[in-house]
Amino acid sequence: MNSRPTVAVTMGDGAGVGPEICIAACLDPTVLAMARPVIIGDAARLEHAAKVLDTDVDVRVIGSPSEAEDTPGAIQVIDLGLLPADLPWGELSPIAGDASFRYIERASALAMSGEVQAICTAPLNKEALHSAGHLYPGHTEMLAALTDTDEVSMMLSSPKLRVIHVTTHIGLIDAVAKIEPGLVERTIRRGNEALIRAGIERPHIGVCAINPHAGENGLFGYGEEQEKIVPAIATLQDDGIDAVGPLPADTAFFLAGRGDYDLIVAMYHDQGHGPIKVLGIEAGVNITVGLPVIRTSVDHGTAFDIAGTGKVDTASMSEALRQAAALAAV
């Protein structure tokens, strides 16, 4: 492997901000100091995005990651050529939805074969993805299927807070029904292992409750904490894992924000996403934990309302690429 890992950067939905943030991040000197990025996408769309950004960039088409070169002002692209030249910015398109899947499909194959050491994904649009016949809730589930992985977890990382989710892209009622001690235990183990790989020797993990005030000794809910969470924590503690809870979520996130916990375990999507986004969506990075490959992503969507305007904040994509490189180098 090169001293800098090669990272496959998927372009996301070509009608959204993906092409813009890919260009900006792949030209970022702080990224290039850590990684050799190769975009999987459409060269013509990237050239269009460069004009939107008023950026002078050399879009170089290559056949494989091994052909990537370090050339100032150039980005390396494996061009799948799937988008029409007149694709509108900011509009739902099944063509763009299908292309976003194909980029991920190619990146997964490259990672599984060892041709790249990590994947970093720009956002896709779920409605466009579904309209193209790819019925996945999102990147996390898609990558699990493409890598033949039974179960993965979503971890969000920001400078002040890390959160791993027991459930993600399902409704709240379904999430509560799905939570059970085995799933809670496996999720916490994945988070613990990921932090150890990242250099935290013994992570201190706070586990959120499901109900307000952690059920308040039976006043709220129907005993979900005792039934679904407490047995998992007991098993983990017996194995030497420093997990505590169930904790009232409002208190847990406050304590984690001031540094008391290395990781918070959220029981459902919005319980974990809300605090991360309040702290600053531009700094949040999504990490899929449990895959046989490293995958990071921005923690924002396709932003159709500003796509093609050059107004997008590209900081999250740069941070996602830096984190992919750092994880691949471990």
Q: Indicate the average pLDDT of the chain.
A: 93
282 band by pLDDT with thresholds 50, 70 and 90: low
Cis before 123 (ω within 30): no
pLDDT score for 221: 85
Could you report the per-residue pLDDT of 201-231, keeping only the tens digit for each? 999 999 999 999 987 777 788 899 999 999 9
Angle at 48 between CA 42 and CA 52, to 5 degrees: 135
pLDDT score for 166: 97
pLDDT over 70 for what percent of the chain? 98
DSSP codes of every residue in 216-273: TTTTSSSSHIIIIIHHHHHHHHHTT--EEEEE-HHHHHHHHHTTS-SEEEESSHHHHH
Q: Which part of the chain has CATH 3.40.718.10? A: 1-149+291-330, 153-282
- Give mean pLDDT, residues 262-266: 96
Q: Is the pLDDT of residue 283 over 80?
A: no
- Give mean pLDDT, residues 165-180: 95
pLDDT score for 102: 98
158 band by pLDDT with thresholds 50, 70 and 90: confident
Rounded to whole angstroms, the Cα distance separating 29 from 106 reads 26
How is domain 153-282 classified at the CATH fold level?
Isopropylmalate Dehydrogenase (3.40.718)
Q: What is the CATH number of domain 1-149+291-330?
A: 3.40.718.10
For the beta sheet containing 285-289, the strands, ordered from the edge strand earlier in sequence to the opposite edge, are: 58-61, 74-79, 36-41, 6-10, 118-121, 295-298, 285-289, 153-157, 162-165, 263-266, 205-208, 243-247
